[in-house]
Amino acid sequence: MKRFDYVRPATVTEAVAAAAQPGAVYLAAGTNLLDLMKGNVSRPDRLVDVTHLDGLDRIETLADGSLRIGALVSNADLAHDAEFARSYPAVAEALLSGASAQLRNAATVGGNLLQRTRCAYFYDTASRCNKREPGSGCDARDGENRGHAVLGWSESCIATHPSDFCVPLAALDAAVEIEGRGGRREIAFDDLHRLPGDTPERDTVLEPGDLIVAVRLPPVARGFAAHARYLKVRERTSYAFAVVSAAAALRIEDGKIAEARLALGGVAAKPWRARGAEEVLRNVAPTADAFQEAARRALEGAKPSGDNAFKIELTRRIVMRALTLATAGTPARIPALPASPFAATSGALHV
Ligand SMILES: Cc1cc2nc3c(=O)[nH]c(=O)nc-3n(C[C@H](O)[C@H](O)[C@H](O)COP(=O)(O)OP(=O)(O)OC[C@H]3O[C@@H](n4cnc5c(N)ncnc54)[C@H](O)[C@@H]3O)c2cc1C
Ligand code: SF4
């Protein structure tokens, strides 16, 4: 096993300084990072344990009405916060559809955003993988690639981003607060994750030493609470990553969609915001025809990267289904169960 340093800084400033040196990585709950280290996929020289930093475990409403979620809040604590689930039901639904109860109790907000792909070749050090070993090749291209990307992929890498939580965050225009060597800055959530291009080893725009301190949801995101769903298709009902997923949120006024938000999961190296589909849905009645056209726009440019052409049709149907469920209304008790794509739309009553 590779030897590494372990440090536990007391402040955010100390953490950023400790992580700025090459080979250093942050350790949160470790549910992804430690697996990668045990498999020799990740070989850091230094672990900077952030779990004891003060003030990063709070959920707070700011003066402007936005919600600030500290990077160390656990996935479970966030999803089970009643006020949070009422205001951002699709986000709660996404969190509860991810991983298992034990994992959600440990996994943090910051770690969920930065978890690595689940491409099997990335985890197998005997395989060629440009993300793990830049320039080595990509064994997924001619291998087992049913689960791989249909949007935004490149010849270098066809992996997908595995997070559920990130999908509604992208739809609702979240922002990410980062503390780095140059101080505090903020980026739009949609700008955090990168498409692979020629540098698939870089999942995000973060620089060495950058620490995610919080995620913020803007006040307008609450305006979608009455008609918001996260729908995930997976290969078994207990814990499993998404084959594809969709977060759909609508603001319906006088029988028409005043504003729509849509993002897709399991289709690309980043949560995929479907802005073209959102435009199609503006100021129209929520009908099957409108949803069909929105689904078509959402998948514009999609192409299989191997044996996964089925994902394009599946995603089209999940988009239509998510929009239909969102129109019917957010269930009064959210989420009663992780959303099933087969659940009846009747009974979805938002009070
Ligand atoms: C069996 C299993 C099933 C799973 N199923 C799902 C699923 O269905 N859906 C889903 O979304 N996820 C799923 N997950 C993934 C799980 O959600 C992630 O492992 C978890 O969210 C990571 O959080 P963590 O705190 O443990 O991060 P860690 O493992 O500690 O860190 C992950 C990465 O984030 C970096 N990091 C952590 N915190 C910060 C920070 N504040 N700033 C900068 N960098 C940071 C670390 O350096 C590391 O690179 C599953 C995991 C397992 C093991
Ligand atoms: S798809 Fe990406 S992560 Fe998977 S083997 Fe290819 S380069 Fe590696």
pLDDT in tens, 132-143: 999 999 999 999
* Nearest CA, atom 4, ligand 1: 99
| Cα gap 20→180, rounded to integer Å | 8
Distance 316 CA to ligand 1 centre (A): 28
Residue from 95, 115, 176, 238 whose mutation best tests the ligand 1 pocket (most atoms within 8 A of CB)? 115
Distance set, CA 233 to CA 104, 164, 186, 318 (Å): 19, 11, 32, 8
Confirm or reject: Cβ of 129 under 6 Å from ligand 2.
Answer: yes
Strands 183-188 and 244-253: unpaired
Q: What are 155-183's pLDDT values in tens digits?
A: 999 999 999 999 999 999 999 999 999 99
Q: Which residue has the tokens 């999940």?
A: 318
Q: Which of 115, 121, 148, 150 to mutate to test the pocket of ligand 2 (most atoms within 8 A of CB)?
A: 121
pLDDT at position 163: 98
Q: Within 6 Å (CB) of ligand 1, which residues are found? A: 25-33, 50, 71, 98-99, 103, 107-108, 110-112, 114-115, 162-165, 211-212, 239, 241
Confidence (pLDDT) at 351:
31
**Buried/exposed 283-314: b ≥16 CB within 10 Å, e otherwise:** eeebeeebbeebbebbbeebebbbebeebbeb
The candidate with the shortest Cα–Cα distance to 308, out of 249, 267, 269, is 267
* Candidate from 54, 114, 131, 176 with most ligand 1 atoms within 8 A of CB, to mutate: 114
- Order the strands of the 183-188 sheet from edge to edge: 59-61, 67-70, 211-217, 175-180, 183-188
- Report the alpha-carbon distance of residue 339 to residue 19 in Å, rounded: 38
Domain 222-345: top CATH class: alpha beta
- The C-alpha angle 179, 153, 125, rounded to 5 degrees, equals 75
Question: How far is residue 17's CA from residue 3's CA, in Å, rounded to a whole number?
Answer: 21
117 lines ligand 2 (CB under 6 A): yes
Residue type present at position 299: L
Q: Is 189 in the pocket of ligand 2 (CB under 6 A)?
A: no
- Residue by residue, pLDDT tens for the chain (351 residues) are 799 999 999 999 999 999 999 999 999 999 999 999 999 999 999 999 999 999 999 999 999 999 999 999 999 999 999 999 999 999 999 999 999 999 999 999 999 999 999 999 999 999 999 999 999 999 999 999 999 999 999 999 999 999 999 999 999 999 999 999 999 999 999 999 999 999 999 999 999 999 999 999 999 999 999 999 999 999 987 789 999 999 999 999 999 999 999 999 999 999 999 999 999 999 999 999 999 999 999 999 999 999 999 999 999 999 999 999 999 999 877 655 545 556 655 444 433
User: How many angstroms separate the CA atoms of 333 and 102, rounded?
Assistant: 22
Question: Which letter does DSSP use for residue 108 in this model?
Answer: B
Name which of 267, 239, 230, 235 is nearest 117 in CA terms: 267
Taking the whole predicted model, whether its pTM rises above 0.95 is answered as: yes
SS3 for 333?
Answer: coil
Distance 139 CA to ligand 2 centre (A): 7
Atom nearest to 127 CA in ligand 2: 5
Q: Closest by alpha carbon to 274, among 218, 320, 329, 210?
A: 320
Joined together, the tokens standing for residue 3 give 């030897």
SS3 sequence of 123-150: HCCCCCECCCCCCCCECCCCCCCCCCCC
Q: What pLDDT is stored for residue 335 in this prediction?
A: 54
Q: Which atom belonging to ligand 2 lies closest to the Cα atom of 117?
A: 3
CA of 189 to the centre of ligand 2 (A): 23
For residue 266, how many C-alpha atoms fall within 13 Å in the half-sphere facing its CB? 29
pLDDT the model gives residue 332? 78
